[in-house]
Amino acid sequence: MTQSPIRKIYQGIADRRQMFRMFDRHAQRPNRFEGDAGPLYCGEWFEVGRVEHDYMLDILPPLWMRGEMFALREFLAGSITSVFYTLRIGGRTRYYHGYCDLSVARSPVEMRDAIVERESRSVKAMTHEERLEHIWSATHDEYRGYAGDRWLAEHRGKRTVLYYGGRRGTTLKLLEDLTDDEIAAKLPVHLRHVPKRIAA
């Protein structure tokens, strides 16, 4: 499997409800039970609270525990499973969940290093991709989906969201086609003015 990019998919600390929603945020994908879903999930990470972290540690005995991380023994797809982290960043202990491919020897370590690098920046900023991922993660299932047969062939299977455009009404748009103004409108107020960062 080609290693998927490591990416933050939610801004803020996910509570238990949000955490469980994001565990399977691609559940509505077309042909859900066909093909390898691993690349969709592999590399995704987000912050959780201590209570959520400890809850997941107590559900089942972990597959393994190594220092500041543990892996769940239930695999999502193929060799992809949840890895939870307890990391000291900026003088505080914080908790994270990431999907790692355990067939890649350093996958959990690379995920940890990417989280620490991303969360250690002195200036908080979001890339365009992080803004889109947050919108996808935060949007209720009834208001997001995947482009189907009514879309042009090149767009089928891409992620879609409902967008309220004022007088123009509600329209279904490809997530990737949202304009900067539309992205700002769909983000929570506290994230609308977070500066943009160019992806590394």
* pLDDT score for 24: 84
The candidate with the shortest Cα–Cα distance to 160, out of 177, 150, 175, is 175
Beta bridge partners of 145: 160
Higher-pLDDT residue of 123 and 14 is 14
Band the pLDDT of 197: cuts 50, 70, 90.
low
Q: Which two tokens stand for residue 56?
A: 């997941």
| pLDDT average, residue stretch 140-155 | 88
User: What does the pLDDT read at residue 196?
Assistant: 65
Spell out the domain ranges in the chain. Answer: 7-119, 128-192
Three-state DSSP at 141 gives: helix
* pLDDT of amino acid 184: 86
With tokens 């892996």, the residue in question is: 71
Q: Residue 14 in contact with residue 46, Cβ under 8 Å? A: yes
User: Looking at residue 182, what is its pLDDT?
Assistant: 87
Contact 69, 109 (CB under 8 A): no
Q: pLDDT grade, residue 190 (50/70/90)?
A: low
pLDDT for the residue numbered 1: 41
Angstrom distance (rounded) from CA 72 to CA 187: 31
- Mean pLDDT for all residues in the chain: 85
Candidates 16, 14, 18; CA nearest to 140 is 18
Question: Which one, of 138, 174, 173, lies nearest residue 46 by Cα?
Answer: 138
In the chain, at which residue ranges do the beta strands (DSSP E only) sit? 7-14, 44-48, 64-66, 69-77, 80-89, 92-101, 144-146, 159-164, 170-174
